[in-house]
Amino acid sequence: MLSKLVACGSSLVLGLVLTATAFGQAAAQENSPAEKKREAAADAMATNQATHEPHMAAALQHLRQAEEELEKTSNNHGPSRDQAMALTKQAENKVAEGIAYYNQHVTPKK
């Protein structure tokens, strides 16, 4: 009986340590200097393109807002939260690529 209790207690402690470690790594990654720089660049692009390319700029702003909301959620959603974060960042990059393409290939209206 005592061995079962010790085994359960050890499993619980190990699970808590692993969860805390994973959460700490995700939080550290979300707050890294490189991540902050990427977020600032996306925000600046959305702001700078608001009059020139308003719909793509708005899409980028909405994706950034979605990313911020996902960062605020707990990590109690299995892999779904992390996958949503990755897909949101991928979508942000694609919108930024679309804006860059537009700026390179389409002459703005005068």
Tens-place pLDDT, residues 26-54: 554 567 898 888 888 888 888 888 888 89
82: region left, alpha or beta (phi > 0 left; psi from -120 to 50 alpha): alpha
This prediction's pTM: 0.64
Which tokens in the block code for residue 43?
A: 């925000």
In this predicted structure, the answer to whether residue 14 has a pLDDT above a threshold of 50 is: no
pLDDT of residue 19: 43
3-state helix, strand, coil in the chain (%, to 5): 80, 0, 20
Q: What is the mean pLDDT of the chain?
A: 76
